[in-house]
């Protein structure tokens, strides 16, 4: 006859020990495993354990805790990095996992949340790509001989700028000094100021 209480205790103790190697990354899982271990400690036998577990027997609480920790960690990461689009995507998925009530909920809601998050992240990536392209367009314009026709270069700048403004109406050249746009900048402050002056002249 299997030792249900002993096996369960060893399983949850092992999982808890793993999580405690990096407790700040496993907050929800630690609480969940401690809850299971508490129930085991209060149980006299396998039958009593099963009765005390109730809905927890499905292990849904563990699955939800894993998702909450995963996306909670991403929320904190993107808060530090200053990436609003990825932050929103992670926060939406965290809140979705938090409100799930069962395995079906978790799978269904998370699938919907993942689709929405993918759209948000794609938009964020597109903004950064356009910001990089705009910077490259201004650099190319500045390097092109002034006595030659630069209308194509101007068109490239304006077209890219318009596309970026459509995605981020608050974007200005000064945005390159802020997250997340600062991550696409590879010039020093003086060079960026000069390029900014050129950009404003073209845009005027």
Give the pLDDT confidence score for residue 145 in this predicted structure: 85
- Tell me the percentage of the chain whose pLDDT exceeds 90: 82
Quote the CA–CA distance of 199 and 137 in Å, as a whole number: 9
pTM value > 0.95: no
Give the pLDDT confidence score for residue 105 in this predicted structure: 87
Domain boundaries, the chain: 1-58, 126-203
Give the pLDDT confidence score for residue 2 in this predicted structure: 62
Tens digits of residue pLDDT in 96-148: 999 999 999 899 989 999 899 999 999 999 999 999 999 999 999 999 888 88
HSE-up of residue 78 (Cα within 13 Å, Cβ side) = 18
Quote the CA–CA distance of 7 and 26 in Å, as a whole number: 22
């Amino acid at each position: 006859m299997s030792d249900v209480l002993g096996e369960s205790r060893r399983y949850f103790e092992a999982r808890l020990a793993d999580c405690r190697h990096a407790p700040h990354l496993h907050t929800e899982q630690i609480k969940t495993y401690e809850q299971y271990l508490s129930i085991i400690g209060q149980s006299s036998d396998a039958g009593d354990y099963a009765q005390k577990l109730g809905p927890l027997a499905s292990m849904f609480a563990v699955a939800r805790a894993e998702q909450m920790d995963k996306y909670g960690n991403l929320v904190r990461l993107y808060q530090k990095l200053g990436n609003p689009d990825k932050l929103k995507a992670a926060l939406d998925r965290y809140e979705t996992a938090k409100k799930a009530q069962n395995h079906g909920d978790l799978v269904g809601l998370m699938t919907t949340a993942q689709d929405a998050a993918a759209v948000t992240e794609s938009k964020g990536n597109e903004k950064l790509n356009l910001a990089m392209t705009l910077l490259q367009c201004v650099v190319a314009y500045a390097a092109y001989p002034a006595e030659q026709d630069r209308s194509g270069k101007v068109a490239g700048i304006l077209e890219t700028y318009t596309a970026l403004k459509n995605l981020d109406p608050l974007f200005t050249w000064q945005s390159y000094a802020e997250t997340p746009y600062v991550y696409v900048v590879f010039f020093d402050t003086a060079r960026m100021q000069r390029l900014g002056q050129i950009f404003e002249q073209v845009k005027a």
